[in-house]
Amino acid sequence: MKMENGKSLPKPAVSEIEKKLLERIRESEGPLRIMHVCGTHERTIAKYGLRSVLPENIEVISGPGCPVCVTPEEDVNIAIALAKSGATIVTFGDMMRVPGSAESLLDAKSEGADVKMVYSIDDAITLAEKKPELEVVFFGIGFETTVPANAAALLRDTPENFSILTSQKQTPPAINLLASDTNVDAFIAPGHVATIIGTKPFEPLAEKGFPVVVSGFEAADILLGISLLQMQVEKGISRVDNGYPRVVKPEGNTIALKMMNEVFETADSEWRGIGNIKDSGLVLRKEFEEKDAARKYEDFYASALEEVRKRAEGKDKKRCICAAILTGKAKPPKCPNFGKECTPKSPAGPCMVSQEGMCYNWFKYSREGGGKIA
Ligand code: SF4
């Protein structure tokens, strides 16, 4: 079986550690439905064919762990409206391809809007410094992993022509919501998020009776995580195990947390495919409101936003089922567009855009006869 790029697929996990972990996992007979909430976990699981080597009684499903996938259409619409109103929108490459209600930032760029790709908020600030004639807006999306960099940048002096459009999310409220809404027995929590916030924010989930393990991103890390979850189930307990202690401290990164809290505060937030989740967003504090592009330019982009929304009326959205995929209720091959009208080269929905997207990874790495991955 070849991947999309013509190269052969990597072989499934075979190291001695992985073999031993798999033996341990196969000894446990009870059924276990595990959800992870991390695009990087999904990538490792798909890349190494882990679902195809797990026993039938273990199912690993993906939750809303891909940041560009959960960025709501309306936030993309606002970014497009800002660009069409004369602002220079700068953001990550993946974000440029994610569809809003009717189009993506890349579509807007092809129509003449000033949209640029950057690798970090610092690149955006540098652009604003070099081009004072531009109104530079950084479209900042992501989870707790990327928020500290945004906070650190805003704590420095930034030029007047620089502002940020935020669509930042916090992971634990989404997991807590899904725990009460999804048929899941246990959770793998994202190691990079826990590196920042620590293990404590996942404790309410364990208190509700769900075994939780914080996992790293190697195949062995994920197998270890599954094994630790099985052990909790066998003992009839639920707690937060740290399966990534080489990086994650229980208290997290206190310096990063302090910076985040100085600049951002918790607010309700809209997640694509899920809806509004209480206290799941991070928005700029009042002290930083002059850097908030949504407020700063509200009057300028209002009519462009109406136009962007109108374009969506009657538009065929190709029946994207990302909402069901992001909540673990469906798998990519269930979508009629999967691999046909929707591919990484021509994504019809957000889950096919990013290397962290479930559809992207299933398209790129799915194997013939690959057990649960197929
Ligand atoms: S295959 Fe494409 S259209 Fe279908 S759910 Fe995935 S992203 Fe959406």
pLDDT in tens, the chain (374 residues): 455 555 555 555 468 888 899 999 999 888 999 999 999 999 999 888 899 899 999 999 999 989 999 999 999 999 999 999 999 999 999 999 999 998 999 999 999 999 999 999 999 999 999 999 999 999 999 999 999 999 999 999 899 999 999 999 999 999 998 888 778 999 999 999 999 999 999 999 999 999 999 999 999 999 999 999 999 999 999 999 999 999 999 999 999 999 999 999 999 999 998 899 999 999 999 999 999 999 999 999 999 999 999 988 867 666 889 989 988 889 899 999 999 999 999 898 999 998 889 999 999 887 433 333 33
Domain extent at residue 290: 69-167+270-311
Asked if 179 and 210 count as a contact pair (C-beta separation under 8 A), the reply is yes
Give the number of other CB atoms < 10 A from CB of residue 248.
Answer: 25
Q: What is the number of structural domains in the chain?
A: 1
CATH code: domain of residue 94 = 3.40.50.11740
Q: What pLDDT score does 13 carry? A: 46
Q: What pLDDT score does 10 carry? A: 56
Which of ligand 1's atoms lies nearest the C-alpha of 351? Answer: 7
- Residues ≥6 apart with Cβ < 8 Å to 263: 150, 151, 154, 155, 284, 285, 288
Q: Is 351 in the pocket of ligand 1 (CB under 6 A)?
A: yes
Q: What pLDDT score does 329 carry? A: 87
State which of 317, 337, 340, 364 you would mutate to test the pocket of ligand 1, scoring each by most atoms of that ligand within 8 A of its C-beta: 337
Q: Is 321 in the pocket of ligand 1 (CB under 6 A)?
A: yes
Q: Is 39 in the pocket of ligand 1 (CB under 6 A)?
A: no
254-263 and 147-155 are packed helices; what angle lies between their axes, rounded to 10 degrees?
Answer: 60
Q: What pLDDT score does 4 carry? A: 53
d(CA 105, CA 98): 7
Q: What pLDDT score does 371 carry? A: 32
Q: Is residue 295 a part of any domain in this protein?
A: yes
Q: Is residue 306 a part of any domain in this protein?
A: yes
Asked if 261 and 267 count as a contact pair (C-beta separation under 8 A), the reply is no
Q: Is residue 38 a part of any domain in this protein?
A: no
What's the gap in Å between 116 CA and the centre of ligand 1?
Answer: 25
Q: What pLDDT score does 370 carry? A: 33
Q: What pLDDT score does 372 carry? A: 38
Q: What pLDDT score does 317 carry? A: 63
Q: Is 332 in the pocket of ligand 1 (CB under 6 A)?
A: yes
The DSSP bridge partners found for residue 167 are 141
Q: Is residue 252 a part of any domain in this protein?
A: no
The dihedral over CA atoms of 151, 152, 156, 160, expressed in degrees to the nearest 10, equals: -40
Q: What pLDDT score does 181 carry? A: 73
Q: Is residue 113 a part of any domain in this protein?
A: yes
Q: Is residue 158 a part of any domain in this protein?
A: yes
Give the C-alpha distances (Å, rounded to integers) separating 36 from 13, 41, 59, 65, 127.
19, 7, 11, 8, 37
What's the gap in Å between 62 CA and the centre of ligand 1?
Answer: 14
Asked if 343 and 306 count as a contact pair (C-beta separation under 8 A), the reply is no
- Residues ≥6 apart with Cβ < 8 Å to 310: none
Give the C-alpha distances (Å, rounded to integers) separating 365 from 40, 66, 350, 359.
14, 17, 18, 10
Q: Is residue 7 a part of any domain in this protein?
A: no
Q: Is residue 27 a part of any domain in this protein?
A: no
End-to-end CA distance of the chain: 13
